[in-house]
Amino acid sequence: MPFSAGYSPWNKGRELRGEPKPCRDCGAETGQTPSQIKRLGYICSACWRQREFERRAQRKAEGRPVRPGRPSREYYRAWTSKPENKLKNATRARTRYAIKHGKLVQQPCEQCGALPTEAHHDDYSDHMAVRWFCKAHHEAHHRISRGDQ
Do 61 and 116 belong together in one domain?
no
DSSP bridge partners of 120: 131
Q: Which of 2, 48, 7 minimizes the C-alpha distance to 28? A: 48
Measured at the CA of 140, the angle between CA 78 and CA 138, to 5 degrees, comes to 70
**pLDDT of res. 95:** 95
Residue 5 CA to residue 31 CA, distance in Å, equals 11
pTM for the complete prediction? Answer: 0.50
88 lies in the same domain as 142? yes
So what's the pLDDT on residue 40?
63
* Contact call for residues 76 and 68 (beta carbons, < 8 A): no
Q: In this structure, is residue 100 part of a structural domain? A: yes
Q: Is 117 found in the same domain as 55?
A: no
The alpha carbons of the chain give a radius of gyration, in whole angstroms, of 25
20: DSSP letter: P
Q: Are 44 and 30 in contact (CB under 8 A)?
A: yes
Tally of CA atoms within 13 A in the half-sphere of 74 that contains its CB = 1
Domain assignment present for 73:
no
The answer as to whether 121 is a domain residue is yes
- Helix (H, G, I), strand (E, B), or coil: what is residue 67? coil
Q: What is the pLDDT along the chain (149 residues), one digit of tens a residue?
A: 445 555 555 555 444 456 677 888 888 877 777 777 666 677 888 888 899 899 888 888 888 777 667 777 888 888 888 988 999 999 999 999 999 999 999 999 999 999 999 999 999 999 899 999 999 999 999 888 888 65
Residue 55's domain comprises 1-67
Q: Are residues 10 and 62 in the same domain?
A: yes
Number of Cβ atoms within 10 Å of the Cβ of 107: 14
Task: Please tell me the total count of domains within the chain.
Answer: 2
